[in-house]
Amino acid sequence: MSDLGVISLEQDTPELARSYEQAGILQFHHGKFLIGPLALKAGDRVLDVGAGTGRLAEFVAGLVGPEGHVVGIDPLENRIAIAQLRQSDNLRFSVGRAEDLSHFETGEFDAVYLNSVFHWIEDKRRTLQEVHRVLKPGGRLGLNIQDPSKPHQTRILLGEAIVQAGFADRGGEAHRVLGTDEDELRILFADAGLIEYRSNLRSLSDLYEDTDAVLKWSEASAFGNFLDRFSQSERDRIRVIFADLLEAKRVPEGLRLERYLRFAFARKPDPSSTGS
């Protein structure tokens, strides 16, 4: 069990990794909103930080073509084991952390992206410094992150379920993330030496078959940090109430829930380019 407010990487399991791979199509589609603004072209070298099971990196490898190269890293060995099944001549995966990119050369990549990863990272400042270092001059960064001012509907409903279950004083123990608001994010980018920062908050609709599907995705995407500080009996109690609250979001196609992500982009200055 992790300390309150600390994200544990030790609680992932092969079962959670498989669930993530099966349900990760939602996050894959959201991740594609990062790719267009990066203006990738054939021959580019790209780093996917927090690649998970590799679905988005595989898509990007198709964009940069055989002349390009994509590397995906993730600290979770179970996720990387699945991602490595996707490896090809221009795509490879390895275990690695965002805060330490020392095994990559300075100026190695044309673009770096983090898809629904940055809100899990504790040392955001160090991560952006590392990204700046491995980017080529003029290289681009894209990431998306949960914004504390606009939590996902699943998080709101889960919080209500925790209160109704009688654990109002323990709401912070569920599905912990380290989100960042717009002002702080802008400062972090600037402090890392990244320029031309721009961002927008997107509302994205997710459709789930039923409550079990919502829970399966929530648990898999949190790699063991979802309700982990509650006992099994407490979790069961919360889940029953959560399921009732979710029913209010049912449409003919299933359960429709809004997810809110801030998408942010910037680039590394290029001294050889006018205006950098």
Coil vs helix vs strand at 260: strand
Neighbours of 103 (CB within 10 A): 10
What is the residue-level pLDDT of the chain in tens, covering all 276 positions?
334 456 788 889 999 999 999 988 888 988 999 999 999 999 999 999 999 999 999 999 999 999 999 999 999 999 999 999 999 999 999 999 999 999 999 999 999 999 999 999 999 999 999 999 999 999 999 999 998 888 889 989 999 999 999 998 886 655 556 788 899 999 999 999 999 999 999 999 999 999 889 988 888 988 888 888 899 999 999 999 999 999 999 999 999 999 999 999 999 999 987 656
Q: Which position has the token pair 């009996």?
A: 233
Enter the tokens of residue 120.
């899990």
CA distance 44 to 136: 11
Query: Taking the complete model, does pTM exceed 0.75, yes or no?
Result: yes
Which CATH number fits the domain 14-149+176-207+259-267, given the four candidates 3.40.50.2300, 1.10.240.10, 3.40.50.150, 3.30.420.40? 3.40.50.150
Q: How far separated are the first and last CA of the chain, in Å rounded?
A: 46
Domain coordinates in residue numbering, the chain: 14-149+176-207+259-267
